[in-house]
Amino acid sequence: MRNKWLVVGTLAIVVVLIVVVFMNNSSNVDEDVATEYDAPPNVEGQPYLGDTEAPVTVVAFGDYKCPSCKAWDETVFPELKETFIDEGIVQFIHVNTPFHGEESMLAAQASESIWNQNQEAFWTFHEAIYQNQPETQQHDEQWVTEETLLDIASSLDENISLENLEEDLQNQAFQEQIREDIDLVEQFEVAQTPTIMVNQYKLTNPFDYEQIVMLIEQENAE
Q: What are phi and psi of 91, to 5 degrees?
A: -100, 125
Task: Give the pLDDT confidence score for residue 20 in this predicted structure.
Answer: 37
11 inside domain? no
Cis peptide bond upstream of 194, omega within 30: yes
Burial of 141 (0-12, 13-18, 19+ CB in 10 A): exposed
> Which of 128, 120, 52, 51 shows the shortest CA–CA distance to 86?
51
Task: Give the pLDDT confidence score for residue 112 in this predicted structure.
Answer: 98
Low-confidence residues in the chain, pLDDT < 50 = 4-26
27 inside domain? no
User: 62: part of which helix (H) or strand (E)?
Assistant: strand 56-62
Task: Give the pLDDT confidence score for residue 139 in this predicted structure.
Answer: 62
99 inside domain? yes
107 inside domain? yes
The string of pLDDT tens digits covering residues 39-54 is 999 999 999 999 999 9
The string of pLDDT tens digits covering residues 117-166 is 999 999 999 999 999 998 876 666 789 999 999 999 999 999 999 999 99
Q: Beta partners for 149?
A: none
Coil, strand or helix at 175: helix
Q: Please state, in angstroms and rounded to a whole number, the distance separating the CA atoms of residues 70 and 122.
A: 16
Supply angle C-alpha 39, 47, 108, rounded to 5.
Answer: 105
24 inside domain? no
> Which of 61, 34, 73 shows the shortest CA–CA distance to 215?
34
83 inside domain? yes
Query: How many domains are there within the chain?
Result: 1
Question: Do residues 160 and 123 lie in contact, with contact meaning Cβ atoms separated by under 8 Å?
Answer: no
30 inside domain? no
> Which of 56, 76, 21 shows the shortest CA–CA distance to 206?
76
129 inside domain? yes
Q: Which CATH number is 40's domain given?
A: 3.40.30.10
| Residues of the domain holding 197 | 35-221
Distances (CA, A) of 58 to 166, 176, 177, 217: 31, 23, 19, 12
